[in-house]
Amino acid sequence: MRFHQERSDLAAALRLAAHFGLHEGVCNHFSYALPGEELCYLLNPHGIHWSQIRASDILLLDGQGRNLDGEGEAELTAFTIHGRLHHANAKAVCVLHTHMPQATALTCVEDGKLLPVHQNSLRFHGEVAYDPHYGGLAEDAAEGDRIAAALGDKRVLFMAHHGVIVAGESIARAFDDLYFLERACQVQLLAMSSGRPLRLIGSNRAAQTKAEMEAGGLYPEAHFQALKRLLDQINPGYGD
């Protein structure tokens, strides 16, 4: 199987997302752009539940959305969103799109933004973009280009009335961000539900804490490897 390790890691990320309740039906997609001059990327196919996906199920697509390797089909919105994001941003090596409930809830309230109210929120200081325009199901390249422009060079995009996109330079980094983004949103929503004013962390402290978190850059890989060991115990077979 071509690119077996990358396919295995993407399948693991999908199963882990299902384990943590970040999935929705058989909707949403994870993708990983492969190195090289021509844009090619791995993508989960339409119709397979994330908890059951295997490395051998992952598709290899070219920049035009043609299937180069793998059984099954790519869902249209997966190509229009992921393909255009990979095309527009070389740093968006791994792109994760979900409707995970806590983060998506923030996209459904007026002026919903991730606020610096908790340590987990500070991971994303200066890394979040917001798209206030809901463009429907994103079934054409123009909508994909608009979404890519809204993300820009940020790691996270909150999409109004829709969900979130997380982009990173590796599968481990992107999944680590996805996991902690949902946890940060969960804590913020719990604090908001108290009806009491939120106590914000100052910008200088937020920037300093983010820098401390990113020093060395080893945590995302260690986290992802630990989660894969968990997956080997509770839901093995993702590498098949």
pLDDT band, residue 183 (cuts 50/70/90)? very high
89-129 pLDDT per residue, tens? 888 999 999 999 999 999 999 999 999 999 999 999 999 99
Considering only residues 62 and 65, tell me which one the structure prediction assigns the higher pLDDT: 62
Find, among 11, 16, 24, 14, the residue nearest to 163 by Cα: 24
Number of Cβ atoms within 10 Å of the Cβ of 121 = 24
Number of Cβ atoms within 10 Å of the Cβ of 212 = 10
* Span 137-161, average pLDDT: 91
Considering only residues 136 and 220, tell me which one the structure prediction assigns the higher pLDDT: 220
- Tell whether the torsion through CA atoms of 77, 81, 83 and 84 is positive or negative: positive
Pairing status of strand 67-69 against strand 59-62: antiparallel
The per-residue DSSP string of 5-20 comes to: HHHHHHHHHHHHHHHT
pLDDT > 90 in the chain, percent: 78
Q: So what's the pLDDT on residue 62?
A: 87
Q: So what's the pLDDT on residue 139?
A: 76
37-57 pLDDT per residue, tens? 678 999 999 999 999 999 999
pLDDT band, residue 27 (cuts 50/70/90)? confident
pLDDT of 70 strictly over 90: no
pLDDT of 84 strictly over 70: yes
pLDDT of 200 strictly over 80: yes
Cβ–Cβ under 8 Å, residues 107 and 159: yes
Q: Mean pLDDT score of the chain, rounded to an integer?
A: 93
Number of Cβ atoms within 10 Å of the Cβ of 181 = 28
Q: Which amino acid is at 132?
A: P
Separation of alpha carbons 87 and 71, rounded Å = 24
